[in-house]
């Protein structure tokens, strides 16, 4: 049979050393962690759903395609293959919002075009995220600040689309703008939180954000995952770098 090559379509990286025990342990952490969080947060999630309906009638959830990867086995080789999946978030924007401004901002962010980012923001800011966005509802701004809009993604974790810890899943049009080395951040399963989120959040340029993701991929371990999860709690509570 034909062997899998690194440059085959959809193959993000071949897995050299056998790390099956780590990935098995990580998956168990994901399952029990996601089940626990969904159970204890269900009353809060119900309140969020009601507030969204009252303020902005329409879908409670925002469903969007994202690019991730999954660990696969074929022709005797383990590899990370590109995977398109649907991510779930609480809706924070007006119904049927035009994504063109976000697409333009992502392009400016990846190209590190400060002038264009300032133009789209309406002012110069060190935050590397589109924060002055008229599409966002008032409850949505609150949900984003405290990362509450991400809570439905524990369902993605339970399904196996994502992990608790890993690089954030990218929007397809974002990946199309990547330079070749940026694609290294896709060589691990996507996560709800990650090294970049706890170390810099939205305060560094895109290249540095990718470097944090690559650093995590190179150093990932069960104990690093636990450290990131614990640090995420303090980062979310402090709202440092959040918008």
pTM of the model: 0.87
Q: Give strand ranges (E) for 110-170.
A: 163-165
pLDDT tens string 189-198: 999 999 999 9
Q: How many CA atoms lie within 13 A of 145 on its CB side?
A: 10
Asked whether the beta carbons of 163 and 59 are under 8 A apart, the reply is no
pLDDT tens string 124-164: 777 677 777 788 898 998 999 889 999 999 999 999 999 99
Ramachandran region, residue 58 (left: φ > 0; alpha: ψ -120 to 50; beta: rest): left
By DSSP bridging, strand 163-165 and strand 77-90 are: unpaired
Where do we find the tokens 């029990």? 32
- The structure tokens listed for 148 are 């509450």
Asked whether the beta carbons of 89 and 150 are under 8 A apart, the reply is yes
In the prediction, which pLDDT does 2 show?
36
Q: Residue 160: which of 85, 74, 108 has the closest Cα?
A: 85
- The structure tokens listed for 162 are 């994502």
In the prediction, which pLDDT does 96 show?
86
All residue ranges of the chain with pLDDT < 50 are 1-5, 7, 9
What is the spatial distance between Cα 201 and Cα 147, in angstroms, rounded to a whole number? 12
| % of the chain exceeding 70 in pLDDT | 90
- The structure tokens listed for 174 are 């974002």
Asked whether the beta carbons of 15 and 79 are under 8 A apart, the reply is yes
Exposed (0-12), middle (13-18) or buried (19+): which is 201, by Cβ within 10 Å? buried
- The structure tokens listed for 190 are 């996507």
Residues in the chain: 243
């Amino acid at each position: 049979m034909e062997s899998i090559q690194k440059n085959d379509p959809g193959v993000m990286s071949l897995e050299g050393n056998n790390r099956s025990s780590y990935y098995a342990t990580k998956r168990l952490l994901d399952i029990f962690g996601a089940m626990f969080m969904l159970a204890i947060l269900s009353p809060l999630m119900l309140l969020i759903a009601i507030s969204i309906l009252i303020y902005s009638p329409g879908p409670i959830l925002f469903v969007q395609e994202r690019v991730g990867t999954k660990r696969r086995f074929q022709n005797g080789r383990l590899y990370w293959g590109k995977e398109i999946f649907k991510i779930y978030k609480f809706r924070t924007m007006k119904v049927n919002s035009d994504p063109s401004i976000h697409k333009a901002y992502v392009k400016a962010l990846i190209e590190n075009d400060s002038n264009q980012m300032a133009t789209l923001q309406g002012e110069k800011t060190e935050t590397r995220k589109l924060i002055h966005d008229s599409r966002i509802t008032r409850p949505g701004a609150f949900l984003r600040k405290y990362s509450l809009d991400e809570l439905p993604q524990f369902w993605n974790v339970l399904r196996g689309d994502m992990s608790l810890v890993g690089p954030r899943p990218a929007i397809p049009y974002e990946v199309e703008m990547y330079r070749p080395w940026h694609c290294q951040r896709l060589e691990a399963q996507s996560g709800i939180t990650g090294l970049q989120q706890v170390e810099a959040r939205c305060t560094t340029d895109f290249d540095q954000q990718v470097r944090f993701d690559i650093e995590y991929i190179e150093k990932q371990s069960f104990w690093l995952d636990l450290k990131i999860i614990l640090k995420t709690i303090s980062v979310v509570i402090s709202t440092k770098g959040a918008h």
